[in-house]
Structure 1
Amino acid sequence: MTTPLVKDRIYRSPQALIGGVLLLVIVGWLGIDALFRGQGRTPWLALAALILIVPLVAAFTLRPAVFANEDRLRVRNPFRVITLPWGEIASLRSGYSNEVIVKSGAKYQLWSVPVSLRGRKKVARRQAKAESDARRGRTGGGTRFGAGRGLGGFDGFGGFGGAGGRGELDHEAGPLRTETDKVMDDLREMLESRGSAESAQGEITVRWAYEVAAPAVAGAVLLAVLLAVG
């Protein structure tokens, strides 16, 4: 009898993916143009720059991801992959960055779940407006249509889509959250429910991403040699 595979939840930054693809297109276009149409040392410099820049762009934009299942959290950062059984995680902290704190005291940043201070301020303003609309609806200070419309646009932030047209129901649905804060809420729920499970115990492993570092170092060395030779 085979053990069924545990499906991962995957968390990535859409903005980073889009930015990474655009950067790679621009770098590739400029680099290939210089590689085939450049003169003298230009093709060699372009080749060295491509070997250096492409892995770094991919590492910081396309590579970061967080994989979570019932047994463990796997954090794929630009240069490391950290596998953390839920039983070894002490907490998940959100400040200027989102981090995993393990019981030994070590912490690991979640590159694919970046904190957006601007997004938090925007959500806070919308939450304040929603609460104001709800209070006006309860006291008769505004129309029911106006209060419902003011909250209807927040479905993507706080899950208010099924609240109907009443400000009271929208207000009771809970505070609005940014997408990355909702991801952290999901991970905290998994930690709380799975932290003591027998299958979620084990050792933390850290693997360095040599497939990213090696070509970047090679490109940097080649570029330095070409510039030094003149």
Structure 2
Amino acid sequence: MLLAYAPALLAAAASFAVPGAVEGARAELLSAALAAHFLKRVLEVLFMHRYSGSMPLDTAATIASSYLLSTATMICEHHLSHDLPDPAVDLLYPGVVVFAVGLAGNFYHHYLLSRLRADAGGGGGGDDRGYKIPRGGLFGLVTCPHYLFEILDFFGLAMIAQTLYALAVATGTAAYLDGRSCATRRWYQSKFQQFPARIKALLPYVL
């Protein structure tokens, strides 16, 4: 996972060192937000997450390429459109707030999951008896609040950028994480007979 996230982090950070690559407050905040997003992921990989398996190198390379391409394209798109008129409705600073909430909420629920895995002894390498139903935060309402906040994170980035590409990335991420959330809820239902029906997959009381 370090290999998957590090190239995108380096691309976002390097954009500040390339003359003319980051021009104006919107471009600066976008590059900074992308760097913060992937820096958080790298730090979580190094110091927080507990893994019970491994990922094939070709899969890691594919994920890394996807994140790198998305990050570089968002930054490059702003460089190419620097001279175009500003959006009629400026979502820059509301986007920063949404991004910060998403980043913080995602980190907090990742922390809760890491404590759960630590208490369970790392999951026993796939042994279902090592897993527990997560508690705390929004886990009492949805199965995957970390995915919910990840979606907020990406839509915050889209609001900062205010480009169709960034919106497409956020929408695609939301659709993917919605599918993963529903699959995770079904897994919990299959493993725990007493799994509460009130706990939804992604959106409290809704989905």
TM-score with structure 1 setting the length: 0.31
Greater Rg by CA: 1
TM-score with structure 2 setting the length: 0.33
